[in-house]
A and B are shown apart, each in its own frame.
Chain A
Amino acid sequence: MAQTAQSLNPARPPEAGHSVKRYTGLMDWITTVDHKKIAILYLWAGGFFFGIGGLEAILIRIQLIKPMNTFLDAQTFNELITMHGTTMIFLGVMPVIFALMNAVIPLQIGARDVAFPFLNALGFWTFLFGGLLLNLSWVMGGAPDAGWTSYTPLSSTTYSATHGVDFYTIGLQIAGLGTLIGGINFLATIITMRAPGMSYMRMPMFAWTTFITSAIILFAFPAITVGLVLLTFDRILEANFFNPATGGNPVLWQHIFWIFGHPEVYILILPAFGIISEVIPTFSRKRLFGYSSMVFATILIAFLGFMVWAHHMFTTGLGPVANALFSVSTMLIAVPTGIKIFNWLFTMWGGQVRFTTPNLFAVGFIPTFTMGGVTGVMLASAPADFQFHDTYFVVAHFHYVIVGGLVLGLFAGLHYWWPKMFGRMLSETLGKWTFWTFIIGFHLTFFVQHFLGLMGMQRRVFTYLPNQQFDTLNLVSTIGAGLMGVGMLIFLWNIFITSRKPADAADDPWEDGRTLEWTIPSPPPEYNFKQTPLVRGIDAFWKEKLAGHKSMTPSEPVGSIHMPSATILPFVMSVGIFIAGLGFMFSRDTFGSEVLSFLFNNYIVTGLGLVITFGSMLMRSLFDDHGWHIEPEELEGR
């Protein structure tokens, strides 16, 4: 069918697609549409923002090391906590999640690329430019200071007069666009690009959690898109959505934010669940215990994740009926999560467990995340939450699930797939040093915060009075944060020395690989699979190993492989949105220079940005991308 279809384009000679411009160096990275390179871009960019967020965290902890500290003033502290939360969630961990998804998912499902390579690149660049815009606030009049939740009226122009919150709304809007694009791309990829024989119930768990995560992104991000538009309109166009004086309602913002915000935390944790479900079976030499219950639990968590948002608002005054309802639905989430915890334990039980660095992180994840889950159930109890609300108990809880859960999971995944992404094994010795310093530092930092919270220390305060029994625990917490920083530095050192080593990682460097990514070279060639493999069961590679085979059975003869062309349009489109956002933000300002005022106040800058973006879109539509082919001779030549 496809063959007949192709013959309908008479305009092009047969070989037209073959002469394609290949870029090198920086241009290669800016124009790439290869999911493996985009993965590395996500990793670098995410790592960069993670570093910024980490520095902000260290500054916060230094300020809180002793009572009445004057290291930072209150305004700077507010900006730091706001940017720490926002940066870590939207610009730090989410891109690293996308890095692993991009690096691994097409390989795990036996595909040569994602469904939309162009959109994949566009998603990355919009995320990057959104993140840069947000962080530009530091040097352009002050960072956002209303907390990462940006509650109104604190985030209204009355209480936050600088452009900080505008950077928040518009920066996140642009970065969120990239996330949404990425989500749709992964959904389509997993639905249509699976290799022959890979039914849904034969997909690796990481592919499953990526699929469900992408679905949550699809349904959650439009809500924050609207929320951010409303807040932007309130701040820039003087609309009245959240202003009680003119009939607006600040509670509406809280609802919209959390209808997005709670699913967002499942967007963060589900990929970690997927990574742990890959690492533990590999290093236990056993198949994942209760695979189908894992799939079911993932779907259930995703559904319930949308039904619990108001547990962030117990103290807002929704009344006993709503509070009871959201209390119960929140506690319900413990059931599918518990299923997962027990499945991991049962996978290890009776297995030949090897404590490699990835597995150390995975095994460390289980009790740490469980502790975060347990405090989650405590917080779900509405009456108790009136005590916990806005104290360090909450801070401890969400750092246990996000750092103790997601970040440990990401470390496990990065160490596990590093050889596949870069062709080099990270040092195991340094990896174990990373693990021990990081996890000890983590528990030192956050375990004590539970008690700080229970003793009444409020979150988001820039300092505290002495002799309230807060002093020692805060000192311990800051020492722990330093130790986590040391762990990060060891990890960076590990990356650095590894990059100097020869790229000699084997196809299956852990030797017990179970899934398709371990059947191809490390790093994979740009077409991934010379021949698309035939999948005969769950853990496809392990199944072949058990049958005594060294490789997969191909499902097709060696043939010409079609590749998408590199293009700079995604980059240009993102630059356009960046300019438009910046222009809109300053559209009501008076500048010292007449020319600047004219350009901004008449929306000329905004218009220019939009012209660049929509113009690039038009070009993409008008000029078909015929791609190019890798011929069988080139494949054999390798």
Chain B
Amino acid sequence: MTTVHAEAGKGTLPHEPEKATLEGRNKVLAFWLFLGGEAVLFGTLFATFLALRNSTNDGPSAAELFHLPLVAAATFLLLASSLTSVFAIQAMHRNKPKELRGWLLITVVLGAAFLALEIYEFSVYVRHEEFGMTTSAFSSAFYTLVGFHGAHVAFGIVWIAILIGQLVRKGLTVVTAPKIYVSAMYWHFIDVVWVFIFTVVYLLGKVG
């Protein structure tokens, strides 16, 4: 408890700066717990989708709707962004703030590209395929599941962008390091959820 005391002075950034203070360790642990809850959240959304996947109400079905090349492109973008956020954490552990900022920036850009593809995909469905939120139980479930993931991506992009700003202003410290580590955990988790989305929603949707 008696840890945080702001002193001007010298010293090295510890090997794992995210776990150097009790506050940092608490943050990382609590974020794991939160991700456990998020697993249930997405699990329930997947369950809803699976229950309603065939209720197309004479609207488009999954097999008619999805274009795999677009989904594949989105998948590789997000997968690559997950790798770049690993590199960001490695740069942080090597205490290279500039490198860290660079990798985070690339992560944000890749994430934004993913999000742009998703928005494009949704707009095509709504405008050209007459597939909106109210079309069928399947459409409601699809937009809610994939949209929840998209909202997570959007939140992650803004979050990491703000952290880049903080890195510039405050530098890499034992206060900023846990935030960056936790945001990287979040980003990986988003990718993990997407693995299930492209498998269960898109690929299995095509298989029928």
Contact = CB atoms under 8 A, between A and B. Distances in A.
B178 to A, nearest CB: 11
A5 B174 contact: yes
A628 to B, nearest CB: 10
B1 A248 contact: no
A233 B48 CA distance: 13
Nearest to A246: B57
B121 interface: no
Interface string A228-245: 011001100111110100
A544 to B, nearest CB: 22
B52 A230 contact: no
Given A1-B20, A188-B29, A247-B57, A219 B40 contact: yes
A256 interface: yes
A368 to B, nearest CB: 33
Interface stretch (B66-74, B101-109, B138-146): B138-146
Most buried by A among B2, B14, B136: B2
B40 A9 contact: no
Contact of B52 (A191, A221, A241): A241
Most chain A CB atoms below 10 A, which of B4, B51, B56: B4
A7 B11 contact: yes
Nearest to A192: B26
A192 B23 CA distance: 10
B124 interface: no
Interface residues of A, number: 65
Interface string A126-150: 0000000000000000000000000
B6 A4 contact: no
B37 to A, nearest CB: 5
Interface string A425-439: 000000000000000
A247 B55 contact: yes
A577 to B, nearest CB: 15
B29 A238 contact: no
A226 B173 contact: no
A191 B29 contact: yes
A249 B137 contact: yes
Interface residues of B, number: 55
A2 B175 contact: no
Contact of B144 (A112, A192, A239, A622): A239
A6 interface: yes
Given A6-B174, A249-B55, A621-B166, A241 B48 contact: yes
B207 interface: no
A626 B23 CA distance: 11
A246 B5 contact: no
Contacts of B11: 4-5, 7-8
A229 B137 contact: no
A116 to B, nearest CB: 7
Interface string A542-568: 000000000000000001111000000
Given A9-B6, A222-B41, A249-B51, A233 B133 contact: yes
B6 A243 contact: no
A226 B5 contact: no
B80 to A, nearest CB: 26
Contacts of B135: 240
A192 B137 contact: no
B30 A624 contact: no
A363 interface: no
A222 B148 CA distance: 13
B5 A240 contact: no
A621 B5 contact: no
A602 B131 CA distance: 23
Interface in B46-97: 47-48, 51-52, 55-57
A141 to B, nearest CB: 24
B13 A8 contact: yes
A629 B7 CA distance: 14
A241 B137 contact: yes
Given A226-B45, A252-B48, A16 B6 contact: yes
Contact of A222 (B5, B37, B134, B137): B37
22 contacts: A2-B22, A3-B3, A4-B11, A9-B6, A9-B7, A10-B9, A14-B7, A16-B6, A17-B6, A113-B1, A184-B37, A188-B29, A192-B25, A237-B134, A241-B52, A243-B137, A247-B136, A248-B137, A256-B48, A259-B44, A560-B2, A561-B2
The list of the 4 closest CB pairs from A to B, nearest first, reads: A247-B55, A12-B6, A247-B137, A5-B20
Interface of A: 1-14, 16-17, 112-113, 115-116, 180, 184-185, 187-188, 191-192, 218-223, 225-227, 229-230, 233-234, 237-241, 243, 246-249, 252, 256, 259, 532, 559-562, 618, 621-622, 624, 626-627, 629
Given A4-B14, A218-B40, A259-B44, 18 more contacts: A2-B20, A6-B4, A6-B7, A7-B7, A7-B9, A7-B11, A9-B7, A13-B8, A116-B30, A184-B37, A188-B26, A188-B30, A192-B25, A226-B41, A230-B144, A246-B57, A622-B166, A629-B5
